[in-house]
Structure 1
């Protein structure tokens, strides 16, 4: 890990005091998450049953009886689309994560796919009480940032349209991030189909701690909407997995702050161990793959962004600062 990365991570809220939490070895134990959390949880409730089939416990206590009124959650809204699978966080009204699969063929434009035909839409499959709405982003000061980018879904207009559902969207800083460095990272991922016949991506928001003036560590993030109900992530992650014909995987994990990033900043400054991403996100990755089959992507390919100017407008970003590479959330 580079000194620059260590400095950036520290400013984002990861110190030596919590290093074991973020940088320790990941647990080998994992629980498979099911889309229908209610049914799964109710089947695994701890109970004691007598020979007559009656639930008993000391003192006649039976807390599991509450669930006959309905299981409170959490409910993970897992939905499969043409280009990606989304898992939605009802509390923060952001994706938990999205999973993508890109190939040289999938990135080709079918000839009649046009981003201008796509519009942002609320996901009506999410109950209204937990749904991110278009009005929540109005004058928020943040872009509606794709987690699975539209440019990865050029193989059909429907696939591209699905990337504009708000269950695939998070509030992102616009100039300097969503329209710049984050877009360059997305392009880097697409470039990997030249190195691997199949590339899989996992992308999502993070809410990392920062050290406050009183010396204590807290997780703080802005809320947007009226009433405020959509969380503004402090950071975003992207896991890149290149699949080789022999079954080996080339893996890299990146964590970027949701703020202005100078295009001159090396992409490797944002690379973190997969174990660190697991601990900060609460997710587990590639746990079914033998360790010997996982290689470091950035040792096999050059991990760097290609700066492309969008909309023919040259953007001038502020110079890089020593300790604010990973700035704290607003």
Structure 2
């Protein structure tokens, strides 16, 4: 009888962890790999975005899974910043629940999940779905339309996706990465040709997509550990159907190059002397 009661109590407790008010609990499980998830904005705020509705074209949105600067005129993020290690990677499947971001100020027009339909452009993740798979809620958060940009299929599904996979490969090899990515310019060519805006909201189609990365071996005090020898990777890819003619590593540039094109200041929390060195070099590590 005593053993039966212990088993019964255990089942009840286990069930209560997963069911609350008749719904599945989608909170984070114990993460796999490093126990600490890095601060998604640890390396700096590239545009000095702020959570002030007056600052509508550089509006800071802080989520548990990533941080972004939203541009209400373009209806896309200016940039999204996130940390990647195996602490963020788990067993959860891709949710595919694209939807409007209801946390935008109520007076702003929110992009709908179908706004890209028929445009010839993919709903391209900025922070990838596969970078956030420790819980249903974490993966689901990557499908908010504030984390999307219109991407030519031959950009999104080829070099862009390949570089995402490479970043996760580094994470599984014992690295933690600090990543910032986003759109640049106006006008891209998708499946049905050149467009500058799509959808009823007039979502601006970027001319380029870009990403900058700092890669560190797993550890603590990450900002303090970055030095002049730390690996950085930056890519700048045309947002058109020619993008797949090259592999992602053929699109490598310096972080300085991307700063000059976007006006952003990446990794500004680093000491100036370190930032100057690592942002000037073009990664040439064999892939």
TM-score normalised to structure 2 length: 0.69
Aligned partner of 1:96 in structure 2 is 78
- 1:187 aligns to 2:165 (yes or no): yes
Match of 2:103 among 121, 125, 134: 125
Q: Any idea what SS the aligned residue of 2:124 has?
A: strand
CA distance in 2, matches of 1:34, 1:262: 30
Aligned partner of 2:5 in structure 1 is none
Aligned partner of 1:200 in structure 2 is 178
In the TM superposition, what are the counterparts of 1:1-330 in structure 2 within 5 Å? 33-37=48-52, 72-74=54-56, 76-109=58-91, 113-115=92-94, 117-126=95-104, 127=106, 129-174=108-153, 176-207=154-185, 222-226=196-200, 229-244=202-217, 245=219, 246-248=225-227, 249-261=230-242, 263=244, 265-290=246-271, 291-292=273-274, 295=278, 298-299=283-284, 301-302=285-286, 304=287
User: Given that residues 207 and 235 in structure 1 are in contact (C-alpha distance below 8 angstroms), is that contact kept between their aligned partners in structure 2?
Assistant: yes
User: Given that residues 84 and 100 in structure 1 are in contact (C-alpha distance below 8 angstroms), is that contact kept between their aligned partners in structure 2?
Assistant: yes
CA distance in 2, matches of 1:78, 1:235: 22
Q: CA deviation at 1:284?
A: 0.3
User: Given that residues 226 and 274 in structure 2 are in contact (C-alpha distance below 8 angstroms), is that contact kept between their aligned partners in structure 1?
Assistant: no
Q: CA deviation at 1:196?
A: 4.8
Measured at CA, do residues 209 and 284 of structure 1 come closer, stay the same or move farther in structure 2, by a change above 3 Å?
farther
For the aligned residues, what is the CA RMSD? 2.8
Unaligned 5+ runs, structure 1 = 1-29, 39-71, 211-219, 305-330
Q: Could you say which structure has the greater relative contact order, defined with CA pairs below 8 angstroms and 6 or more residues apart?
A: 1
Q: Any idea what SS the aligned residue of 1:134 has?
A: coil
CA distance in 1, matches of 2:203, 2:156: 18
Unaligned 5+ runs, structure 2 = 1-44, 189-193, 220-224
Measured at CA, do residues 145 and 128 of structure 1 come closer, stay the same or move farther in structure 2, by a change above 3 Å?
farther
Q: CA deviation at 1:76?
A: 3.2
* Residue deviations 1:103-131 (CA, integer Å, cap 9, x gap): 1232232xxx221x341010112235332
CA distance in 2, matches of 1:256, 1:280: 12
Q: CA deviation at 1:181?
A: 2.1
Measured at CA, do residues 31 and 132 of structure 1 come closer, stay the same or move farther in structure 2, by a change above 3 Å?
closer
Instruction: Pick the structure with greater CA Rg.
Output: 1
**Larger relative strand fraction:** 2
TM-score normalised to structure 1 length: 0.61
* Residue deviations 1:233-260 (CA, integer Å, cap 9, x gap): 1110000111245433321211001122
User: Given that residues 96 and 140 in structure 2 are in contact (C-alpha distance below 8 angstroms), is that contact kept between their aligned partners in structure 1?
Assistant: yes
User: Given that residues 102 and 198 in structure 1 are in contact (C-alpha distance below 8 angstroms), is that contact kept between their aligned partners in structure 2?
Assistant: yes
* Residue deviations 1:267-289 (CA, integer Å, cap 9, x gap): 33311221121121121012332
Matched length: 225
Q: Any idea what SS the aligned residue of 2:166 has?
A: helix
* Residue deviations 1:128-157 (CA, integer Å, cap 9, x gap): 533212342121221111001100011111
